[in-house]
Amino acid sequence: MSTKRVITYAEAINEALREEMKADPNVILLGEDIGAYGGVFKVTKGLLDEFGSDRVIDTPISETGFTGAGIGAAMTGMKPVVEIMWVDFTLVAMDQILNQAAKMTYMSGGQTKVPLVIRTQGGGGRGNAAQHSQSLETMFAHVPGLKVVVPSTPYDAKGLLKSSIREECPVIFIEHKMLYNQKGEVPSEEYFIPLGQADIKREGKDVTIVSLSRMVHFCLDAARELQNEGIEAEVIDLRTLVPLDLELVKKSVQKTHRLVIVHEATRSYGWGAEVAARIQEEAFDELDAPVLRVGAEDVPIPYNLNLEKEMLPQVRDIVDAARNALYLSV
């Protein structure tokens, strides 16, 4: 019987790292300020003391350099977990991520595996402005060779990170800065969540709402509002973009016949377009309404909190989209 415990998203990630480092001496951490300082979001707190500076390595501010080193270490027998402090900074290391890590196995004809996890955090909501608030998961999902994990709860974050560290390929693991203090139930017993399994966070029969990361919580809030109007929304958390569990979405659409996709990333060319396209290709006859998308406005993220809130998707936008999908007047 599992023990019920409530811990934060940051603590859950810390536990996953600790457990995997204990289980496998090849797991090492690389990143900026992750050692004595414990990481800017305190995710790696205490790990330096426990595992020493050979395994928790503070690096210079050089994302290309230490991401590349993580790749080289992964190719030669280590299991590095590289922390890139903000997802926006991954752009500095994109050659290493997209040209090197993602393609090494294929280019070598399968000789080389790159069991590397890049942990980072993204998203807006606290006035970090245009270069510290982006949701860039689609960029990684667009390049074959990477798996992409975007967890929404402490439970999912822990189980998915533990699985990610045991993958044999590079995994981009994107946390959300607004979720680090969010609490949730996490059993004290060890568990894993396999990559590629979406999760129904709330069952419903009238409209399917698909999302991930922080927006899942917005969708659940929206579902509660819709319930007051007698609408039962089903909320699906994709949890991983690659692999994509489209089957669960299709199954839900077969029940609800209506689909709303919600992401914090800018709307144009986001992953929502991919999911919408796939659903119309594979489940066109199930649809009773056009697939609708809710995403951020197609602008850089403004600093001013009022402007930021307005440009990011809010609960109201999701409620409106669900009502639209049901042809109810907004």
In eight-state DSSP terms, residue 2 is P
Cβ(121)–Cβ(83) below 8 Å: no
Q: What's the CA gap between 35 and 46, in Å, rounded? A: 8
* Cα 73 to the center of its chain, rounded Å: 24
80/313 with CB nearer other proteins: 80
291 binds other proteins (CB under 8 A): no
**The two three-digit tokens of residue 130, written as one number:** 């245009």
In eight-state DSSP terms, residue 236 is E
Identify whether 132 is a catalytic site residue.
yes
66/155 with CB nearer other proteins: 66
Shortest CB 88 distance to other proteins, Å: 17
Which residues, including other chains, have CB under 8 Å from residue 86's CB and lie 6 or more apart? 120, 121, 122, 132
Cβ(220)–Cβ(182) below 8 Å: no
Q: What mask, x for binding other proteins by CB under 8 A, covers residues 221 to 240? A: --------------------
Residue with token string 């009238």: 206
193/279 with CB nearer other proteins: 193
Catalytic residue among 132, 217, 257, 263: 132
Site for other proteins in 27-56 (CB under 8 A): 28, 54-55
Choices 34-42, 61-69, 178-186, 284-292; region in contact with other proteins by CB under 8 A = 61-69
75 binds other proteins (CB under 8 A): yes
Shortest CB 93 distance to other proteins, Å: 9
Site for other proteins in 83-142 (CB under 8 A): 95-96, 99-100, 104-112
Q: What's the CA gap between 276 and 290, in Å, rounded? A: 9
**The two three-digit tokens of residue 304, written as one number:** 């001013």
70 binds other proteins (CB under 8 A): yes
Choices 72-80, 158-166, 175-183, 200-208; region in contact with other proteins by CB under 8 A = 72-80
* Cα 65 to the center of its chain, rounded Å: 24
Helix axes 214-228, 315-325, angle to 10 degrees: 60
68 binds other proteins (CB under 8 A): yes
139/169 with CB nearer other proteins: 169
Cα–Cα distance list, 115 to 135, 236, 303 (Å): 24, 28, 37
103/255 with CB nearer other proteins: 103
Catalytic residue among 11, 15, 63, 83: 63
Cβ(226)–Cβ(208) below 8 Å: no
Helix axes 154-165, 9-23, angle to 10 degrees: 30
- β-bridge mates for residue 175, sequence order: 121
From 12, 69, 226, 235, residue interacting with other proteins (rule: CB under 8 A): 69
146/238 with CB nearer other proteins: 146
Q: What's the CA gap between 2 and 154, in Å, rounded? A: 16
Site for other proteins in 144-203 (CB under 8 A): 144-145, 147, 167-169
Identify whether 11 is a catalytic site residue.
no
Site residues, other proteins (CB under 8 A): 28, 54-55, 57, 59-60, 62, 64-78, 80, 95-96, 99-100, 104-112, 144-145, 147, 167-169
Active site residue ranges: 63, 132
